[in-house]
Structure 1
Amino acid sequence: MRGFFLNTQNPSRDGSCLQKYLYFNLSAIKEKGTLTMARLTLDLGPRSYYNLGPEVEVALSVAEEPGLWGRSLPKPGRMLALQSVPGPQGSLHFNLQDVVKDWNGNRLENLGLYLEILAKGDRHSGVENTCDRLLRSLHASLLVVTLNPDHCPSSSRKRRAAIPVPKGSCRNLCHRHQLFINFRDLGWHKWIIAPKGFMANYCHGDCPFSMTTYLNSSNYAFMQALMHAVDPKVPKAVCIPTKLSPISMLYQDNDETVILRHYEDMVVDECGCG
């Protein structure tokens, strides 16, 4: 679901690029469903390896103390994330499962989020251009995944089915996790010019037989999970990438020649059981 930015402030003297109040309408979420994932995505703009701006710091907080509509807007409350971003460009992802769970339990607590982006540097380092670009290109979306509790039998209830359903089938299911690879940590920053790193991500989680139809699984994974439920000697279906995307890198070879190269299958976009 797309987020609504309700207030915008111009860059101020304290280095703040923008301060925005972000609200998501969660009325489409069924209260009966079990929340399994809530991920906020902030799109900072298209990737460019030639016009990198100064580093920015992204601060995300829960909005509190709303005041009266039309007179005052919510203020930043509990800090959820504080992250430095080179560029800025590409997308940032934040796990908001606990926050959305609280909001879904009490809709009156959904006062939105408070987003502030601070630019590090002075006018000569392109701070003003970076702020202007962010104001034009910033978008936010919230991906929420819920499961029907009817598809997650209670582990305390006796089952008559011949095939057992594993405990915790609604928790720790196969999905994508964030993993940022910083080339400096690998010692590659001396020859890779751009990017400084990338969000590679990884897949992890359980693939129980009872949930394979909901986890982007192949027919083979379904049959393997079925056979494992019947015979534990058969290996379980595993959580693997099902969709990958490429990245581009600008680097120097041994002759100090600058090369731009496209590398396929570097970023995990989706996960499933296989």
Structure 2
Amino acid sequence: MRSFTRDVNKTLHISIYEIMKEYSNRESDLFLLDLQELQAGAEGWLVFDVTAASNHWLVNRKYNLGLRLYVETDDGHSVDPGLAGLLGRRGPRSKQPFMVTFFRASQNPVRVTRAVKQLKKRQPKKTNDLPHPNKLPGIFDDIHVSEGRQVCRRHELYVSFQDLGWLDWVIAPQGYSAFYCEGECAFPLDSCMNATNHAILQSLVHLMKPEAVPKACCAPTKLSATSVLYYDSNNNVILKKHRNMVVKSCGCH
């Protein structure tokens, strides 16, 4: 295991496996469930699709040997999840890892808190390809993945003060990049969507009662200020920094 500094420019590869069989004299047999990439400086929840494992465990409980998570750099070196920034059991209670399942029979979501086991040095693992989420049987039969639709993200928007008719009192700038948020907030909410806990729960309720509860909305999660030089009502030249003028990031709310 290499030491690792949380360089925001580094890309981390995070993979999660179901433990299929354990041995006393060699590495366990593992089944690849999901793989994600993110920047080392990213913050928020990581959402992994573990449908195949939960289906397996529902059929036979004795096969539930847990999950195993690996974090690697671009050059293939293993990283301690804690050093990479994953909180796990050491984090506050509100940020503990959990599993969400959806049962059509009872129509009730179930939340089960699970802690990821301490990782050992990475050994060669058995890998495999999972079918498309729409083709996975069982728990997620009622979830329809939006094909070809953009997920919630920031889009370019230039606001021209001339077009607004404000240049008779605004001196500078003549406009600025304000940006805006748009996109799909469909379940499961990925880590790149910066979803709030409320948005995650609203999405689950929407799955059960789509006609009563809407999906979570794509909206700004961080805004910054912009300075504007203008004439006030007394023709004094004023330089003022206006808050919440530029969208810095978007997320599901």
TM-score range, shorter chain: 0.3 to 0.5
Report the TM-score, using the length of structure 1 for normalisation.
0.43
Q: Identify which of structures 1 and 2 has the higher relative contact order when contacts are C-alpha pairs closer than 8 Å and 6+ apart.
A: 1
Pick the structure with more strand per residue. 1
Report the TM-score, using the length of structure 2 for normalisation.
0.46
